[in-house]
Chain A
Amino acid sequence: MREKHAAIGVLAGTIRKLIESGEIQSDKIDEIRLRIGQPVWLLYDRKGGYLLKNGTFGKERKKAHIVTALELRETMEYVSDYSMYAYENQLKQGYITIQGGHRVGIAGKVVLENGKIKTITEIGMLNIRFARAYIGCSKKVMPYITEQNDIVSTLIISPPGGGKTTLLRDLIRELASEKGGKTVGVVDERSEIAACYLGIPQNDLGVTTDVLDACPKAEGMLMLLRSMAPEVIAVDEIGTKEDLQAICRVANCGCKILATIHGSSMEEMKEKTILKELINKNIFQRFLVLDNRFHVGTIKGIYKEKGLVRI
């Protein structure tokens, strides 16, 4: 598990001191939400509640610490390294990745220019999601996605918060480890897989991984193919027509693909017109379906043969 200080460190001094002074253990925090005029909300030890004025976690709203506009501004200063202007592209996407791979979601007034999002101003809400790397979580599924000691193209299907990115990250790390020995190319459009900070991946992605950070997936996959000659290309949250076209081109070049997509079942995937073609072309030889109803990252099913056969 990664240390959490980088995420706590971006909080306004008053809130940071409260967390550090009380009994709250930073490694049990999953999320911190700040909203001006509202209490500091924590997802702590898988339970939602407030940060109380005495630095403890609780459900009593009256005793909770209320976020001020100044505290939110101070937090944004730390999140952006005192340089909001340098994060305009990330702001357009609604989040900033900070040191340690933690993600800060931002909400406020959206400014449009020619119908497209230009930036977010009057920021009033922040959601700090603590990144975790569960080293070794892919070991159980690895035998199911390999054939004759070689990885096969695999699509991870999961609802939001189901652990698909965590699993993908660990698969990459395993494949690009000294033992795995594969050259892996990662197109990290949302900086979620590698969580690059100043060009350095903050998450362990093995020794033979090349990362294209903040690059659109479709262009990135083809760029990697031409420039880094990867054996495996990994992308997170595919979904657009362009993504699928690029995947077909990559697959035709003999490169294996690891990808994730939002969904809850194999049947749901088959109903999506855009994915039907991909499934019928047999681009992916395995489909891993995850579930988060009981526990994040639970394997609901593994399928092969165009998703018709359950392993």
Chain B
Amino acid sequence: MLKIIGSVCVLFGCSALGFYFVSQMKKRLQELSFLRKLLFFMEGEIRHGLKSLPEIMIAMKQKCSGEWALFFQIVGRRMLEERNEPLAVIWKNAMLEALQVSSLSREQKKEWEELGNNLGYLDREMQLVLLQISQEHFGDFIEEERERYKKHARLYQTLGVMSGIFLVVILI
């Protein structure tokens, strides 16, 4: 009886691991698409509204939930109320504080951090070009992730279940 319960647990655990990897990939894809939309929003606010960055950050906070709402809240509040640090520092610290749970890869986080290094201290034209470049980079990330998802999603799920079965066979 114990063997059966143990086998079920191992099988369930390994399968869950496979499904978890797939869900993380899916979440990353969604997160990247969402960030790209935010970059479009930011571009629109600068191009047509000529709004200041603190205002844009607060507006972006309203559009998000979870860790990203927290990120924009920290950045917006520190720019509006504290004004003690350059934006690059505020941006980086907010990433450390709020985006620990984000499913973005290290490279994608680096790209997001790079955006914070250049925001604000450019004229309008350059600012818009910078945002368009970032949109393209995030577009590339989305394509890569999509490809990866297509290739690996089923593989991870199958591997999870198969490794569970393999372990059960070995252990029994």
Contacts and interface: CB of A to CB of B under 8 A. Distances in A.
Which of A13, A82, A86, A119 counts the most chain B CB atoms within 10 A? A82
B50 interface: yes
A78 B120 CA distance: 10
A82 B124 contact: no
Interface in A83-102: 83-86, 88
B122 A82 contact: no
Contacts of B126: 85
B107 interface: no
Interface residues of B, number: 20
A58 interface: no
A154 B86 CA distance: 46
Which of B46, B85, B124 counts the most chain A CB atoms within 10 A? B124
A76 B121 contact: yes
Contacts of A85: 46, 50, 120, 122-124, 126-127
A77 interface: yes
A77 B87 contact: yes
Given A86-B50, A86-B52, A80 B123 contact: no
A9 B87 CA distance: 15
A217 to B, nearest CB: 23
Interface in B13-30: none
A86 B121 contact: no
Contact of B52 (A73, A74, A82, A88): A82
Nearest to B86: A74
Contacts of A10: 83
A23 interface: no
Contact of A13 (B84, B121, B122): B84
B57 to A, nearest CB: 9
A82 B78 CA distance: 11
Given A81-B53, A82-B53, A86-B51, A73 B79 contact: no
A88 B127 CA distance: 12
Interface of A: 9-10, 13, 73-74, 76-78, 80-86, 88, 119, 121
12 contacts: A13-B84, A76-B121, A77-B87, A81-B52, A82-B52, A83-B53, A83-B120, A85-B46, A85-B123, A85-B124, A88-B124, A121-B123
